[in-house]
Structure 1
Amino acid sequence: MLAAIGLDETHESAYRALVSAGAVDVPSLARRLTLGERDTERALRLLERHGLAAQSPAGPGRWVAAPPAVALGALLTQQRHELEKAELAAALLAEEYRASAAEPAAHDLVEVVIGADAVAQRFLQIQLGAAREVCALVSGNPVVVSGTDNDAEELAADRGVRYRVVVERAVFDLPQGIAELSAALRRDEQVRVVDRVPAKLVVVDGTHALVPLTSPDSEPAALVVHAGGLLDLVSGLFESVWREALPLTLGASGFSEREPDGPDATDLEVLSLLLAGLTDASVAKQLDLGLRTVQRRVKRLMELTGVSTRLQLGWHAYERGWVARRL
């Protein structure tokens, strides 16, 4: 817990022991920590340098903890100051980097990252920098980062970042695939399933995306897209796949793929266009959906309302308030 202010597990344990024990000598503290006396004394000296411990004036050879509110507060203030300086330095370096690019306008739009380590690092970085939402298409053939290696996902989700993920069915066959999907659902991530995803990609906050570029004969690479039409294209691709995918849920009996219990936003768009007189094919074209997807959605809505004709479906849609009456 105190690693952020420069204390490892041993030193944090020593400080906590001092706080709970009051004044204590080295042998007693060593027994509490199950450490050698020499290692315990070294830990105390480091705590002393950080202002977290001092030798007790009441008894020679005894040590006491500095008050946490004062000592830790000072270290936290110093750490915040260092972070502010680092943020300023990062901003200045970013400006210098953009200014020195041969074609700054183009470089601001797309960045090429080459090498497995570099791609993995950027993949984790953009998730750690997410403020609101991460959207991803995940294939069953991870090349650079597997689900078990993606520590940034759990950290971002813990900060309240929303995840919407579409996985292809081959992910279930990966050694850790089921465990990773279970963990994602327990973190309240929204996960959907399709037979195959058209591409691997990650979109963060709608402001930038990472698109892996891999082939059997070349080194792993990726495009980091920052803005412009390409970002709109990548975001649109994700939303298109998301609309057609089946939600994945985790119950007592395991995974299940199901349609939502009620109509979603796409269902309501389909209904509105059908009631306006468009054919299934026209609706599919208008909403950038497959014809079978439109027909499947209409069939599910008919089953949901318990009707056998589309005319009855339209009446129920009005009665349930799914669509508004037109005057």
Structure 2
Amino acid sequence: MAGGTLIVDTSFLGDVLCAEPMVRAAAKRWQGQPVDFLASPGGAHILSGHPDLGDILVFDKRGAQRGALGLLRMARELKKRAYVRAICSHRSWRSAALLRLAGIPERVGFDNASASFLFTERVSYQADLHEIERNLQLLGGGSWQRPRMYPDAGERERVAGLLPGRSFVAMAPGSLWETKRWPAQRFSELAAALSAKGVDVVLLGGPEDRPLCREVHQRAKDFGAEESALHDLCGQTNLRESAALLEKALALVSNDSAPMHLGVAAGIPVMAVYCSTVPAFGFAPKGEQDRVFEISELDCRPCGIHGKRRCPEGHFRCGWDIQFEQVLQALQPFLPQTSLPV
């Protein structure tokens, strides 16, 4: 359908989920007008089934649509759709240039975005706000709200066949950056402690996380966990299936990584372990039942926006100094009442 609003964020999973509340805000503000979303292939996957979205457009900027030619082709596609306005939470020059090339008359983005001069309206980027609240400033403002995903019946049915028969806590030990990973030993210690309480543990992650999840699984057994209490589903579910699975979990223990955002969207308590990055970046879970763990007094934190491959200081205290007992204690209110006390 021609006209309407295009929301643009072709960045990482967490960024797209933090942009999702803008979809609902735009649909409410411009009732009766279509709201579309331009995302990366992964972002389009997690937005599928959204009741307030019309078309979800894919911009494969790292693949088939990479380079100047891909940018021009995407711009032509957007121009055909004759959008009235574009709301761009992605702060890259490519996104700003794309919307200008597409000739969209109203182009709203952040004032600190690359090539922000290509926007017709520049909104102040407020670093002290949560990313969701920052994004809502692009539509005039709004308070934090939980992002949403919409797994379909088939995805829920498939996940139902993978679930353990007992109550479980989900764990996601992986991250693309090593210094964002709570040590595998800590996850294993926590898994063993939960097993001793009669609570199962489900390990989640992508195919690239399989070696790490195998290590957590094995070391948890070394620490005394029952084999029957450990369920390694790493690499067996896609993002939407993982979200459906998380809806059934008592809670999620995760690093500052993609599964953390899935847990927030699933509406369960999220125990977020922040090693080399900091909640002040604006992406930490903010629900009443969510908890964040960090060693705030370390002067070397944060060591980068995304973390590092190795600890620059050589000690990785931001990970090792967070003890599994701290997380176990925070989990206790969400465990079955039959569980033994900490």
Task: Give your verdict on TM over 0.5.
Answer: no
Higher-Rg member (1/2): 1
TM band (smaller chain): under 0.3
TM-score, scaled relative to structure 2: 0.22
> TM-score, normalised to structure 1's length?
0.23
- Structure in which a larger fraction of residues adopt helix: 1
Between the two structures, name the one with larger relative contact order (CA 8 Å, sep ≥ 6): 2
